[in-house]
Amino acid sequence: MTENPFDLDDDVEADEEPSEAAGDNSSFAELRKAYKRTERQNKAFEKELTELREFKTTVVQEQRKGQIESVFTEVGLSPKHALLFEKVNPEAEITPEVVQTFAAEYDLITQAGASVEAPAQGFTPVTTGTPSSVSTLTNEDVKKMLAAGEVDAVRKAFEGGRVEQPEVPWPTGDGRF
């Protein structure tokens, strides 16, 4: 017959059980107190974190506003124009080139009365290799190139129509003079 694990053993006295239960209850009470204490700390930390985030947001906004105004005065524009820039481009990077482009786009006038021109953002071509000669070759040039062994270059020049063709004194086509 199998023993029932829930049956009390005869060697365990009745007064030992309540003391163990009392120890369990006290440890649960301590756990509850610790849990409540950490909950209060978490709420306090969350409140402090919220306040710090709000503070950070205001500081960042003030720094950005100051930076925008300083760049606008550096370019020669009124700080009032900075409000327009901030509304139109809330996340844009603040550099003199960006502000000049913005001012040129909206036809803003500097405090001196001149209009702002956008910075030059031109294309700089990159050359690779040597350019091919576009001049025409004479018969003498062709002879020199052939003597130097540049047969492919002469062929390309003929195909490209860059070889000077002397006028033939006789009519072409029928082979007669």
Q: What is the pLDDT along the chain (177 residues), one digit of tens a residue?
A: 566 666 655 554 544 454 555 667 888 999 999 999 999 999 999 999 999 999 999 999 888 888 888 888 888 888 888 888 888 877 778 888 888 888 888 777 776 666 666 666 655 556 565 555 557 888 888 889 889 998 898 888 888 878 877 666 666 666 555
CB 137 within 8 Å of CB 162:
yes
The pLDDT of residue 38 is 96
Residue 48: phi, psi to the nearest 5? -65, -40
Q: What is the pLDDT of residue 114?
A: 66
Q: Give the separation between CA 12 and CA 108, rounded to whole angstroms.
A: 95
Question: For residue 130, what are its two tokens?
Answer: 């040597």
* Per-residue confidence (pLDDT) for residue 16, from 0 to 100: 47
Whether the CA torsion 144, 147, 148, 154 is positive or negative: it is positive
- Asked if residues 103 and 75 have their Cβ atoms less than 8 Å apart, the reply is yes
What are the extents of the domains in the chain? Answer: 32-105, 135-166
**Predicted local distance difference test score (pLDDT) of residue 15:** 47
The type of residue at 161 is G
pLDDT of residue 177: 52
Give CA angle at 149 (147, 150), nearest 5°.
Answer: 110
**Structure tokens given for 155:** 């062929």
Cα angle for residues 166, 172, 177 (degrees, 5° grid): 100
What pLDDT, on a 0 to 100 scale, did the predictor assign at position 134? 59
pLDDT at 8: 55
